[in-house]
Chains A and B, each alone.
Chain A
Amino acid sequence: MAHAYTPGLKVTPWTRHRIRRILPIAGEVKRDVGERVGAADVVAETFMPGNVTPLNVANMLSMPPADIPECMLKQVGDPIAVDERLAETKGIFGFFKAHCQSRTAGTIETISEVTGQVIIRGEPLPVQVSAYVAGEVVEVIAGEGVVIESDVAFVQGIFGIGGETLGPLVMACESPEQELTAERITDEMAGMVVVGGARMTGAAVGRAIEVGCAAVVSGGLDDADLRDILGYDLGVAITGSETIGLTLVVTEGFGEIAMAKRTHQLFGELAGHEASVNGTTQIRAGVMRPEIVIPRSDHPPAADSKPNRIAGLLEVGTSVRVIRDPYFGVLGTVASLPSEPQALDSESRARVLCVDTSEGETVTVPRANVELIEE
């Protein structure tokens, strides 16, 4: 039977999930193997070298750089406070001394005879890494962090904004086709991960920020609304550091598009559970997609233990979604996979597949323009 491989996003009701929680530089690991951790618990911490402030003392004292070491009141390694005297000239017979003060607190790191520049290193900056997903520590990486394992429901989105956040899941739309409007966001949703249906409107996101929701997850989003939310036109899909007040995850794409039924159903079943959400998206080498991770304490049903939407085999009968115009968002099953490239309406030649749509039509689309789903 003809088949091919095509990418898809992972949506699974139950999987054993492992995450590495690693410090950016070496530090202290706070938890041991076997310990259970909550999502907000700190598992490792360290101190980054403080910020650096250069002060050109030669210019400040109007002295040649070579004379600066003699003028210094503080030496390398000495601590210094804001407005504390840093250097002083000898003056004339001990009078008319010129001096300069530090504009910042920290420790003297270097004094240059060549440039007359003094580098002051600020206080170390604490960096903490939380568990992010509740579970058990199964490995400690000495000086770096831990690996946490948990049984979770896992949903990958296609695009997100904002970093890691936590909160209980709450359903704002009863069906995946329902638009997430501002009226559906209530005051009780503060601190929660709000799940919509189809497109989230700009007004709904504004209302969610006002209420203080932790995250909003829905099928689609209009680019015009995204521009209004961010205040600028997003050029490249490298996100995660935005600070708009919450995290957004789009599960399907831009425009009017319903959330996949299975995804919406899964969220519905897990409403009230604590969810860990990360909007970080990077669509370059080393792709990162946003995610919603929901730890589960119940046991998995025997027949449902495999991921349902993963990169994999595309064959006759497989459920697919068309991800490009003119059939963007259309759902259906693969009817056939012709092996020879065919001419498209654009006159390009490409390998195609025929899809029986849920509306009863059969459409031909390039293989590059579908992704696997399982309803």
Chain B
Amino acid sequence: MTTPESFSPVPATSANLLDPSSINVILATDCGSTTTKAILIEKVDGEFRQTFRGEAPTTVEEPAADVTMGVVNSVSEVAELAGRKLIGDDGQVIRPASDGQGCDIYISTSSAGGGLQMMVAGVVREMTAASAKRAALGAGAIVMDTIATNDKRLPHEQIQRIRELRPDMILISGGTDGGTTQHVVQIAEMVAPAKPQPRFGSEYCMPVIFAGNVDARDAITGAFDDSVELSLVENLRPTMERENLAPARDAIHDLFLEHVMAHAPGYDKLISWTDAPIMPTPAAVGNILQQIAEQRGVNAVGVDIGGATTDVFSVFEGTFNRTVSANLGMSYSISNVCAEASLPSILRWVPLDMDERELRNRVKNKMIRPTTIPQTLESLLFEQAVAREALRLAYEQHKDFATTLKGVQQQRTVGDTFSQQSSGQTIVNNMTLDLLVASGGVLSHAPRMSQTAAMLVDAFQPEGITTLAKDSIFMMPHLGVLAQVLPEAAVQVFERDCLVYLGTCIAPAGIGKAGRACFSYQITGEGISHSGEVVFGEMKLLSMADGVIATAVIEPAKGFDAGEGPGKKVEGEIRGGTVGVILDGRGRPLELPTDRDACRQAVTTWNHVQGLAELN
């Protein structure tokens, strides 16, 4: 199987690595669209630990119009809590640490001002254009549109679209090295006369990266005039069988710093303060997730659900993928979730009767006043139902995108007659998923941890044995950028302070008849002994504290698969958490009863078992 290139968004190299023994205090900030979050990491008993955090509104917009003000405010809060002076009289971060003051290194990520927005283009949508999109997403960008010769739009429609978009930069790919140049040059000839306008400032020269057939470089250079700044990098798809995304991704990061960030208010100052290049927030999150997956040798999925967008990150067999679902979110985009998923799909998760007309108005009122919060239990349950559908849709989009390389020639033998697989199959496999990490307001701030776990299980439908966790205070961005220079510190803090383990979900795949056996279980460990049977449609919750490790033996009934094949016994290590062990006998794919009364009854029972809410 040929998979997309496995890469770490910003690899830690010996050139940028620091000596951990010389570092004791690390300050990290994440400048988000609305809030700037600062954390302090200190060496405690020889290990790096996150000790204090502070936050303040981001100050990119008027009247402050200087991102460093928000940084100083959030760092000042940390300083106050830590009793450690971090900002000097000159208004800058004090470095290096001495006499209980300052820090040894200061690092930052940023998604302020809407993050990095890109347009990508390639010759064939499923091949070079898909690779270009993967490179842009991996670099932490929001992809506004993908132009390809087969995107079902006429050339003049494509040109019109390019004229309307105002991206921060454009990535063009196409053709394998040594192959035909005509098609990729045609793409460039379409982009050039459209004269795409950048998002910031008229004096800003639109950066265009060409990462296609090396033989087309002269023709591509000739196609553009001085109104763009053209960068030529290695082909991101040198052969059909191989992706080479790193050079394009590095060019994106460089241009992000040189152009986009340099035009955002105060960033020139911030860049001069930091000890490592500022990374786009999603790139940093992807970076740490991949580091962890690699180090533990596991497959992991991370999700960050925000008000406007949902980011999904995955690492399967070492291959990293990231998608951004631009209009799936819990406030600005809540109405779009309802439109895409449909209200009946959302309401199937709600154990109460609700008036559809009133709900529609409530959703729109949340959209136009995005900062309001649910006051009633009914309101909270509805928002969590919306979150399940937003996460489900975002994960589906992720699975469709995270595929093996398309367009690869395959040699088949007679033996493949009955098991032919085309190229472009998803590499996301819920059965081999080991770790599912949640972050984002609706997941992080749910009043009960069991609600967070339930949203994850219902939306992602993990199969077999899967560990569930959440990012305690959304520090994955900070740790992602830290991993660039001090991977050891990043991993230590991730393990000890970043993740809150919710527990483990055990869920065999398959469909059975209600009330018939689904699987039996035996869980043993130090002071732990649980055994029993789960019937189809049933859920059970076993309490098992955080930090406790036990051995689970799962024997699926006929037709159910827990990871070793239908009906085959599975033995594995499981981890406790704040929620415990969720035994999910609802089968996979998860299907809720179509009859409204039966569905409400089923959801009420599952909610009760998991302790999600006390409904009157």
Contact = CB atoms under 8 A, between A and B. Distances in A.
A236 B186 CA distance: 34
Nearest to B614: A347
A115 to B, nearest CB: 4
Contacts of A178: none
A222 interface: yes
Nearest to B308: A284
Query: Which size bracket describes the interface of B in this complex?
Result: 35 or more
Contact of A117 (B186, B216, B362, B364): B186
A39 interface: no
A53 B332 contact: no
A345 B365 contact: no
B480 to A, nearest CB: 22
A124 interface: no
A237 B113 contact: no
A235 B363 CA distance: 10
A348 B364 contact: no
Nearest to B183: A115
Query: Which size bracket describes the interface of A in this complex?
Result: 35 or more
Interface string B357-376: 11011111111111111111
A253 B33 contact: no
Contact of A121 (B193, B365, B366, B375): B193
Interface in A317-340: 323-326, 328
Contact of B448 (A115, A119, A234, A347): A347
A284 B114 CA distance: 9
Interface string B112-128: 01100000000000000
Contacts of A26: 202
Contacts of A110: 189, 192-193, 223
B365 A323 contact: yes
B61 interface: yes
B530 to A, nearest CB: 28
A235 B309 CA distance: 13
A368 B307 CA distance: 15
Interface in A220-266: 222-224, 226, 233-237, 253-255
Interface in A41-91: 49, 51-54, 65
A158 B367 CA distance: 11
Interface string A346-373: 1111100000000000000110110100
Nearest to B328: A235
B485 to A, nearest CB: 30
Interface in B366-414: 366-377, 379-380
B159 interface: yes
Nearest to A49: B195
A310 to B, nearest CB: 14
B429 interface: no
Nearest to B448: A347
A346 B375 contact: yes
A159 B368 contact: yes
A115 B339 CA distance: 43
A40 interface: no
Contacts of B332: 236-237, 283-284
Nearest to A56: B186
A348 B375 CA distance: 8
Interface in B126-162: 155-156, 159-160
A109 interface: yes
B445 A348 contact: yes
Interface in B180-198: 181-183, 185-186, 189-190, 192-195
A92 interface: no
A51 B375 contact: no
A203 B113 CA distance: 40
Given A253-B365, A284-B332, A325-B362, A115 B182 contact: yes
Contacts of A369: 372-373, 375
A281 B365 CA distance: 14
B335 interface: yes
A51 B159 contact: yes
B219 interface: yes
A54 B379 contact: no
Contact of B377 (A254, A324, A347): A347
A254 B368 contact: yes
A349 to B, nearest CB: 8
B370 A283 contact: yes
Contacts of A98: none
Contacts of B308: 284
Contact of A254 (B189, B223, B365): B365
B173 interface: no
A325 B156 contact: no
A286 interface: yes
A187 B441 CA distance: 50
B190 A54 contact: yes
B372 A323 contact: yes
A350 B373 contact: yes
Contact of B365 (A7, A235, A324): A324
Nearest to B194: A52
A334 B363 CA distance: 26
A283 B373 CA distance: 17
A130 interface: no
A285 interface: yes
B327 interface: yes
A112 interface: yes
Contact of A54 (B61, B156, B363, B376): B156
B3 interface: no
Contact of B156 (A51, A235, A348, A349): A51
A135 B182 CA distance: 55
A149 to B, nearest CB: 19
A158 B193 CA distance: 39
A114 interface: yes
A346 B367 contact: no
B375 A344 contact: yes
Contacts of B340: 235
B368 A158 contact: yes
Contacts of A53: 155-156
Contacts of A223: 357, 360-361, 363-364
B291 interface: no
Contacts of B202: 25-26
Nearest to B371: A368
Contact of A158 (B189, B223, B369, B371): B369
A326 to B, nearest CB: 5
Given A237-B332, A348-B445, A328 B365 contact: yes
B333 interface: yes
A143 to B, nearest CB: 10
Given A114-B219, A346-B375, A347-B447, A255 B358 contact: yes
A348 B446 CA distance: 7
B336 interface: yes
Nearest to A282: B332
A25 B202 CA distance: 9
B361 A222 contact: yes
Nearest to A235: B336
A95 to B, nearest CB: 30
Q: Which of the listed residues B202, B362, B363 has the most CB atoms from chain A within 10 Å of its own CB?
A: B362
B368 A283 contact: yes
A302 to B, nearest CB: 28
A223 B185 CA distance: 47
B365 A255 contact: yes
B560 to A, nearest CB: 35
A361 to B, nearest CB: 15
A254 B308 CA distance: 20
Given A112-B223, A348-B445, 18 more contacts: A7-B371, A52-B156, A54-B156, A110-B193, A114-B181, A117-B186, A223-B361, A234-B364, A254-B361, A283-B368, A284-B332, A285-B61, A326-B379, A328-B362, A345-B377, A346-B380, A347-B447, A368-B373
22 contacts: A53-B156, A54-B159, A54-B190, A112-B186, A112-B189, A119-B193, A158-B368, A222-B357, A233-B338, A235-B333, A236-B332, A283-B332, A283-B367, A285-B114, A326-B379, A346-B377, A347-B377, A347-B447, A348-B374, A348-B445, A350-B373, A371-B369
